[in-house]
Structure 1
Amino acid sequence: MKKTMNKTTKNNFINYGIVIAIFVIVEILSGTGNLSRLLTGLLVPLCVYTIAAISLNLVVGFSGELSLGHAGFMCVGAYSSALFSHIASDIPQVPRFILAILIGAVVAAVFGVIIGIPVLRLRGDYLAIVTLAFGEIIKNLINILYVGFDENGLHVATSSANLKLAAGGKQILKGALGISGTGALYKDVKHYFFPIGIILVLLTLFIVQNLVNSRSGRAIMATRDNRIAAESVGIDVTKFKLLAFTISAALAGVAGVLYAHNLSMLKVSGFDYNMSILILVYVVLGGIGNLRGSMIAAIILYALPELLRGFANYRMLIYAIVLIVMMLFNWAPAARNWRARVMEKIRGTKNKKEAA
């Protein structure tokens, strides 16, 4: 048991080390002027999608449920935090941003509970269908909402004409046009968004890894492996699946907050089902239940299309080849056997050195 715990702790610290090493390398490249504007623009989105992939892996990999509504949870986190940032613009930027993160996480978690309570009692593909519908409902609902505030408080309407604001009032959400100027509210701290994103990635890893390695995490994985056996030993299957789903939704909300505040114009059209599928691709190609793989897949697969824009005619061909290679490397029996043999040789060499 002690050996297993040591191995788990080591793997956890390797994950933290990878994130910190990437941050240090980026800072060195930035400090020496070797970081292009293209790469600089990708840094915060990479943190966003890394957080989203890790959080989705908690549901797909460790809980064994298929969720296609991650973009919906990111959307409610993004919009709730952006609304707060505009309404509370008098609060200093740093505490306001911290509060925005907390609000985005809480609102997304609440929606996770609302969706999860009825659906997680069902089996099969119901969760995928309902979460996909949730994402589309949220997107279409925000498309028709107009929100503003004045001295009388917050005003919500379904058309711009019905939004009656007093003199000096401000319209924040403009239906399909979204919310503009959120990033400008943090002009003094916006250049710190990448370090903040790294901290949020580390925090996400800490939460997920500690949950997975706790008693609750073992109960979650037991329900995934054999629901009937888990119920027979007294595990509340719905409770633990709901726990994983809610935490995953809250972390998706955090990713949405970072996403929203990094943009000059926040539009709901970006939170469609394609975003949910994209995050699911990161999880599957990185390895279901493999947090390190999810991080690496998110970084490579998000950055690659942008870095290959110079190869206009072959960009998507190269991207497709990389997807196929990663899928074969992670899931083909021959590749998995080869990886197992390599790891055995490495362990054998290490044991020989220790024995000597």
Structure 2
Amino acid sequence: MKSRKETMRSYVINLIAVVLLFVLMNVGTRTGLLGRYQTGVLMVIFINIILAISLNLTTGFLGQIALGHAGFMSIGAYTAALFVKYIQETVGITLAQKGNVSPAGTGFFLLSLLLAGLVAALFGLLVGVPALRLKGDYLAIITLGFGEIIRTMIEFFSFTGGAQGLNRIPKTATLNVVYIIMVVCVMVMFAFVRSRHGRAIMAIREDDIASEASGIPNTYYKVLAFTFAAFFAGIAGGIYGQYLGILGATDFDFMKSIDILVFVVLGGMGSLTGSIVSAVGLTILPEVLRSLADYRMLIYSVVLVLVMIFKPSGLLGTYEFSLTRLIDRLTGRQKKQPSAAGKGGASE
């Protein structure tokens, strides 16, 4: 176990890194180094990070394959979009105009994300209660069917824009606010998986019969993890809609769920930092290969196959990258304190 001093040191180092990235991002936008294109890529990265860590809770930490994450994302996207459209067009409060977001716009943006997360979590609860009594292929099929049902319903109803999609959504998502939201989501997820609830969920993954025998209510924790993951997927969807300003049902098809699952599997099922690294890498890679338009997806696919051949458990497996450990290794601190490193290294 780490001492309180070591824990506080780790928190301070991580906080410095978060603030430094925030400062560099703002310097880049103010000096013109980060243009509209680069800002857009960063926005997609932040959205994908939230999606990846949320699905990892279900697939990695709980050990249940779910293929309907895009469905929860779409619920959050349309909930938030319809809410801010109502506020701006019906109530008459200007939230965003000509690329400028008003203070009210930021406030309603945050409120819309909370609403999006709650509605997605409600659907997660409704789906999770019956579905999580099953496992393996059956759960994957049910969640896949749920995602397709949601997509079909979006195309059917007129208030969602039907097959033509929903447009004129106020673009209230700004880079700084979305970055902060992403950081908060990551912090909350880390706190959750390291809590007694997270340990109970991982115990179910390792042996659900033994966990039930030891007094852990399996169904309760399965539904909790599924609902919690749906909540964050809804938030990611809410950001997505208010960043693009337009939504369509085809944005949330089966392949979108597969893309999110690839983030988790490639990064390592049971590693949040692995999901973050994978989400960043797989978002940037297609953009880097954009000049090779004819071969872009081929190279992308080959990279994925090679990684899974040589690292079948993912880039990090169940290992969590620690900035504190990296600094200790670079400065030789671990060599001076081998006993402390040996005790605390695996739990960071």
Assess, with a 3 A threshold, how the Cα gap between structure 1 residues 277 and 104 changes in structure 2: closer, same or farther. Answer: same
Q: Secondary structure at the match of 1:183?
A: coil
Assess, with a 3 A threshold, how the Cα gap between structure 1 residues 250 and 6 changes in structure 2: closer, same or farther. Answer: farther
Q: Is 1:140 equivalent to 2:152 in the alignment?
A: yes
Once the two structures are TM-superposed, the CA of residue 321 in structure 1 deviates from its matched residue by 3.8
Q: Is 1:271 equivalent to 2:252 in the alignment?
A: yes
* Aligned residue in 2 for 1:180: 167
Once the two structures are TM-superposed, the CA of residue 20 in structure 1 deviates from its matched residue by 4.5
* Aligned residue in 2 for 1:98: 110
* CA distance in structure 2 between the aligned counterparts of 1:18 and 1:254, rounded to whole angstroms: 24
* CA distance in structure 1 between the aligned counterparts of 2:306 and 2:5, rounded to whole angstroms: 32
Q: Secondary structure at the match of 2:64?
A: coil
Q: Which stretch shows the higher mean deviation, 300-309 or 19-28?
A: 19-28
Q: Which stretch shows the higher mean deviation, 105-114 or 208-217?
A: 208-217
One of 195, 200, 212 as aligned partner of 2:193: 212
Q: Is 1:230 equivalent to 2:211 in the alignment?
A: yes
One of 335, 342, 346 as aligned partner of 1:352: 335
Normalising by structure 2, what TM-score? 0.82
- Structure 2's unaligned 5+ residue stretches are 94-103, 318-325, 339-348
Assess, with a 3 A threshold, how the Cα gap between structure 1 residues 10 and 104 changes in structure 2: closer, same or farther. Answer: farther
Q: Secondary structure at the match of 1:262?
A: helix
Between Structure 1 and Structure 2, how many residues are aligned?
317
* Aligned residue in 1 for 2:123: 111
One of 99, 120, 126 as aligned partner of 2:132: 120
Q: Percent identity?
A: 43
User: Matches of residues 1-356 of structure 1 in structure 2 within 5 Å?
Assistant: 1-2=1-2, 19-89=18-88, 90=91, 91=93, 92-147=104-159, 173-184=160-171, 186=172, 190=173, 193-328=174-309, 330-331=311-312, 346=329, 350-354=333-337
**Would you say the 8 A contact 2:64–2:135 is kept in 1?**
no
Assess, with a 3 A threshold, how the Cα gap between structure 1 residues 13 and 233 changes in structure 2: closer, same or farther. Answer: farther
Assess, with a 3 A threshold, how the Cα gap between structure 1 residues 239 and 145 changes in structure 2: closer, same or farther. Answer: same
**Would you say the 8 A contact 1:16–1:202 is kept in 2?**
no
- Structure 1's unaligned 5+ residue stretches are 148-172, 337-342
**Would you say the 8 A contact 1:139–1:271 is kept in 2?**
yes
Once the two structures are TM-superposed, the CA of residue 325 in structure 1 deviates from its matched residue by 4.4
Q: Secondary structure at the match of 1:180?
A: coil
**Would you say the 8 A contact 2:57–2:270 is kept in 1?**
yes
After superposition, what is the alpha-carbon deviation per residue over 1:9-58, rounded to whole angstroms, capped at 9, x for unaligned?
A: 77777766655444333323222222244212212111111100011111
**Would you say the 8 A contact 1:71–1:273 is kept in 2?**
yes
* CA distance in structure 2 between the aligned counterparts of 1:320 and 1:326, rounded to whole angstroms: 10
After superposition, what is the alpha-carbon deviation per residue over 1:75-134, rounded to whole angstroms, capped at 9, x for unaligned?
A: 000111111112222353232212211110010000000000001112322221111100
Once the two structures are TM-superposed, the CA of residue 174 in structure 1 deviates from its matched residue by 2.2
Could you say which structure has the higher strand fraction?
Answer: 1
Q: Which stretch shows the higher mean deviation, 233-242 or 309-318?
A: 309-318
**Would you say the 8 A contact 2:84–2:170 is kept in 1?**
no
Assess, with a 3 A threshold, how the Cα gap between structure 1 residues 61 and 9 changes in structure 2: closer, same or farther. Answer: farther
What is the CA RMSD across the aligned residues, in angstroms? Answer: 2.9
